[in-house]
Structure 1
Amino acid sequence: MTIAAEDPMIGRLIDGRYQVKSRIARGGMATVYLATDLRLERRVAVKIMHGHLADDSAFKARFVQEARSAARLAHPNVVNVFDQGQDSDMAYLVMEYLPGITLRDLLKDYGKLTPEQTVDIMDAVLQGLAAAHESGIVHRDLKPENVLLADDGRIKLGDFGLARATTANTASGQALLGTIAYLSPELLTRGVADARSDIYAIGIMMYEMLTGEQPFKGEQPMAVAYQHANDKVPAPSASNPAIPVELDEIVEWATTRSPDGRPENAGILLDKLLQAEKVIRTGSSYQDLSTQQTMVMPAGMLIGSDDETQAIGTGALAGLNRKVPIDNPVAALKEISSTRRSRGFWIFGITIVLAVLGATAGWFFSSGPGSLATIPATAGMAPADAQKLVEEAGFTAKVVEANDSTVAVGKVIDTDPKGGSTITRGATVKIMVSLGPKIVDTPAFAGMTEADAKKKSQELGFKLKDPAEQFSADVTKGSVIAALDGKGQPLPAKYPVGGEVQFVVSLGAIPPVDGLSVADATKALTDAGLVVGATNEEFSDVAKGTVISLAVPEGVVTKGTNVTLVVSKGPDLVTVPNVVGKSIKDAIAVLQAAGFGFATEVDQELWDAKAVRSQSPAGDSQAKRGAVVTISNR
């Protein structure tokens, strides 16, 4: 049994000063340890370059560059570098130790962050990056793993191992550095990086923080790189509608494919973020909508005012005030009589008109169009505010409770009839207040057929996502392996109605290919949706050219996964050394050197006295490597 050796660095004293306590993390270029600075009696993080890279001058230069780059920065949001040196063949870097987690750890735990949380973290990151850009330093490897969230609330940017001066903007023929998911189009296509390349990585990080996923995905790194070089990063709100438009605009600006379209440095982007933060936290850009209240018309604007009525009255009845001549009494009496009759007709006519107008108004406001009113929109309001608004509109309000998967508990879902509807004034309007989503028991979906699982989910009101498929030797093809929530986690025992559900459905077992020819095995695997990426050959007792086994990657195997065929090279036959005539000791040495085992048929008292007289298998014959050769001196 082999026992793994303990890390030899634990307990080591580096350069007579730094006592290594434990290992914190291991990366591609170096391992980071927790150590004690014996001189200053403080805990530090010591970064030690991997031994196999120590002889590579380019890697060593890049390692030293990190120390120089970071040491030039004195900023609260950048990890401090205290020391750098060489102990024997070991290059090391001494940094500030920050107990806590990385932004990557936070995203793994929470999936995605709120806009406010994203702004808080990015505020600190951009302040640190702005200090770097002002000092002429480009980070070139921005990603969540390099953002440190200390237990005491500090947020710092670290790992300047790939940093360079902003004037050094070529890749000098080396392979691309940095993490592919955050590399800018110009770095991928031309190997050129400047401060705007860091801005692109910031935009990708913000997208991931807001949505819980990276904008571009692919099974192979080159597929992701191609999308970065050719596709536009989508707006985060397309994945999460709750994201404010201000953050959409920042991500779009930072991830513009052409570097000329991005902010020139982190300081400019920081200013934009601070402006967006004010809008997000105060909602000031939307407050003007709330000022559109019901307006009261001035008295002078009322139709049919007293002035108008008086003008109409004097004009229409002016003839009733005429002077009548009295020199002819008969004529005068006739005129007066005629005038009185005329006045009577006018009064009668006005009375009739007023009666008709009164009846019409009564009909209009009691059962005609005047009796109708529009229900105000109350969705999202507090119940008391909604009730007041409905009653002021002339309705009787009744508050009822209902389940809803999208509206927060205690807020108004809508009214019944719906807001915006026109109904009879005085009617009862129900104000529906959210109780939150209805919680139901989660069925045991695992083992159901996909059709049965879908039917059951729809009956319970779950929102189904497209299923995922994977090969399984234990679950029948077409049956559910697992049921996941909207974040890809197993469904809990109870789940809200309207919640997202995704089924993982079995593709059945991977086709067995042992004993098949390479052509037949390749066809069987290809028909199943797998990709035969390579073939490896091994010695075997199986006939040459026959498939011995199938090598698949660890974890989930889906359609499109690359698999490897292990093919027989036939038996591993080698020539047996001829040891007849040699001493027993020499014969054993020769056989072992040739990779064979040995057995002896020797008289112990004549062990060295007699030479080997026979062997089996015979010398110069063919036998499998590692076979046992029996020698005898009898």
Structure 2
Amino acid sequence: MPPDRQPHEVVRPARQGTSGGSADPMTGRLLDGRYRIGSRIARGGMASVYEATDLRLDRVVAVKVMHVGLGDDEEFAARFVREARAAARLSHPNVVAVFDQGDDDGTVFLAMELIAGHTLRDVIVKEAPMSPARALALVEPVVSALAAAHRSGIVHRDVKPENVLIADDGRVKVADFGLAKAVGTDTQHTATGGVLIGTVSYLAPELVSQGISDARADVYAVGVLLYELLTGAKPHEGESPIQVAYKHVHEDVSPPSLLEPGLPGYVDALVARATARDRGLRPADAGVLLHHVHRVAHALAEGVREDPELTQDLAPLLLHPDTGVPVVEEPVREDTGTTGPVPAGADHEPTSLLRAGVPAAASASAGPSAPRANGQDRAAAAAPAPPSRPGRRGRRWRGPLLVLLAVVIATTLGLGAWWYGWARYSTVPSVLEQGRASAVAELEDAGFDVVVGEAVYSNRVPEGRVVSADPGAGSRALTGDEVTIVLSLGVELYPVPEMAGRTLEEAEAALAEVDLELGRVREKFSESVPDDQVVRSTPVAGKELRPGAAVDLVVSKGRRPINVGDWVGEPADEAQRTLERKGLVVQRNEDVFSDSVPAGDVVSQEPGSGTLFKGDTVTLTVSKGPELVEVPGVKAQGVDAARAELESLGFVVRVENISDYLGLGFVFRTDPGAGEMVPKGSTITLYLI
């Protein structure tokens, strides 16, 4: 597979059937005790990328694992870690986020954001060639991401369609910041003996020929990428990577309009500016290129077919073939009639490679390395002009005077129209994503009055930076006109309102007021919160969330009912322990005699059954057992007197004669005997003599 067709590391493609072959040893492995490695997504020259699960945060990530051997090189690993940390510092909506970096027993890895979608290469295959507006809409977030990197001192060095990811929701993300720099920090990049970092189709000439690169190398790659979007083809093709690299060094990128006629000249100029072989003619970094992209996008949005001034402004300068200094148009010299390049500074404005009014195809051959003229042409140009034939006598003076007057009037009208229709207007500069002070200073320097409008929320532009301007970048306005800028409030966040104590309906209404959604509702008994009122929320009150985020609620079902149970006839101590363990209060009444319930058991309870709530009271009546009465002494009493006394005490009396009964009728003894304590109602037997 050619280098520029490698699959990207962090984009998750659609699931496909499993091919044959041995299983990947990384699959199923747990890295750093945190990342459970799943199926492999892609494999490159230095690393393989796997879909993995972050067990600590319960999310799916992409884990890039360096190939065996590379991680063993301590110097390489140290550079890799440094650049991974630098890339992780990039916080930009169009940059694939780096979450973590680690070394698990010699396995060096990166944990990154996993993007579900496809790459820009897929878009090129399906859509290119595409309209300039569509191409710039895809390029703009790429340039914005590179601009953020360049401001942080990070050069990508491997900008290509495979490293531009497009999520299913349309977000554009640039991946692999810092990795190429980690590999090539101390490597000389030459076309012959060194290591070429980056795909050959997008390499800047100076990286091939001199082994040097800076932010302008990324600018060159973006220019090639834009060319490919506009035409569906790469600007330089060859049978081998060396041939392609040679063309980058020795051949200019041709105007896209040669393959796609009808493109505006300023689009050709933007491509020429970004892909100038002399890096001094390119934008200094992606931030400057982003400004140019915004100007071209604005012109396209306004339906401008041709804009000579914009074309002139964007096109790179034409250089003198011998001295390398900018040159100007080649006017006819009145003293000799010859033509030739005039050095810059000879009281002329420098011309551009793509001059206003010159077809892109014609201007493409006038690159910095194109020959100006051969020796025969220069000799012919240096020869004196042939003498002119003597002219006839002039007409009458009235004719020339009228012509002169007409010229003066036409010139005056033309200058007036030019002034009032164009020259007195200034171009509004692009201040998008700049801080307030920087934006105001740039607009005021351009001659405009600045009005700061009401700030708005933005999920893309950081807080305090410009979201929009009216008139927009590239518009023409009079000096002194007002330009209204709108600043970002940052990501729109709303605090979770206090939910506790509200009814479910009230809570749902309160969430709707701050653009939050009601999530999962779970019911729970509560001793302190009444039925149908919110106990708590997750996240808690005050936590700031994005619009549409869900808030889970716990709603009270009221107090938990406690089953009392029937404890009559059961041991009172056991009943008390059980009821108190349930949270009830037990009150005991132990003053009751019972002939049927043993002592210590429950005779009765209040309430007798049903349910109570925590803290309610249960009254237990506990048996003292049967009431005991002392048997009186009735020995030697007559049977009738003894019976009467015992029955008065509640005893049952039974009479029997002893074996030696004499017939006297007196009590000889009792059973139970006198003085014994027996339950009231017991039977006392009288034995008569």
Report the TM range for the smaller structure's normalisation.
Answer: 0.3 to 0.5
TM-score by length of 2: 0.40
TM-score (norm 1): 0.43
Structure showing greater Rg: 2
Question: More helix by proportion, 1 or 2?
Answer: 1
